Amino acid sequence: MESKARSQGTLKAEFPMRLQVYMAKCGVGSRRACEELISQGRVMINNRQVREMGTKVNADDVVQVDMETIELEDKLYYIALNKPRGYVCTNYDPKETKYARDLIDIKDNSLLFNVGRLDKDSTGLIIFTNDGDFANKMMHPRYQVEKEYIVKLDRAVEIEDLQRAIHGVYIDMPKPYKILRYDLMPQTRQYIRVTLIEGKNREIRKIFSYLGYEVKSLTRIRVGTVELDDLTPGEYRNLTREEIAGLLSGKGSSQAKSKKTVTIRGKEDGNRD
């Protein structure tokens, strides 16, 4: 059964405001994503194309992105979704038909965007919001928000390989891919609990593929202070005020949280090879 999401506060707008900040507060995306749109010449103020990052917006200015007028949204949403397998974390891709955002059944659905990503074949916790400032802080490396996953491999993992993953492996870029921490699941070394900080694109899959394993399933169970808990695939809920404050304060990031037994259940069970 789907949860009901509600707004959790209002936006505070002080003008003049930097263009990318205004766009983020309108729900266009994170500040970094908004800066890319500006640099691509896709943003206009009062019918004039703008490419300068330092441009300021006043309260009576008309701002358009791809010829669509955007306005400040006075409701803030912070939503945790258990993304099922087969759904993508993007708001538009002509090659896809199943979008994770569409699982969140609220009137302001179109204003939401995901904070970070899970690839199409991965499942678990993904956070959606329309608060660009919040998203920018969550994705900034300075905050070092931990992301925790349950990984199922095609065979029992060797401890030496996990140690290599902690020290970092060089695969396809100058910076190493690495994990922060791991825990072996009870009774088997085929399931592993893995914690990351940065979370490069498909990082866990690339690490274990490089080490000679196949990832059979990958489920994110925690982002900072927010736990997947008993959300079933496709279900969503509001973040609590304590969870939002914890994310913004860095709790659950630099130190490990106490571990709880996690049961991955729901539609994905049939997908475990």
Domain extent, residue 160, equals 145-232+263-271
| Residue 205: CA count within 13 A, CB half-sphere | 14
**Residuewise pLDDT in 10s, the chain (273 residues):** 445 565 666 556 688 999 998 988 787 877 888 899 999 999 999 999 999 988 999 999 999 999 999 988 678 899 999 999 999 998 778 889 999 999 999 888 888 989 988 999 999 999 999 888 888 888 877 778 899 999 999 999 999 999 999 999 999 999 999 999 999 987 778 999 999 987 778 999 999 999 999 999 999 999 999 999 999 999 999 999 899 999 988 776 644 344 444 444 444 443 333
Task: Indicate whether 164 and 267 sit together in one domain.
Answer: yes
Q: Is 129 exposed, middle or buried (0-12, 13-18, 19+ CB in 10 A)?
A: buried
Indicate if 269 belongs to the active site: no
CATH of the domain at 199: 3.30.70.1560
Q: How far is CA 171 from the centre of its chain?
A: 23
Number of domains in the chain: 2
Q: Are residues 62 and 150 located together in one domain of the fold?
A: no
Which pTM does this prediction carry? 0.74
Selecting among 60, 61, 102, 119, the annotated active-site residue is 119
Measured from the Cβ of residue 242, the count of other Cβ atoms closer than 10 Å reads 10
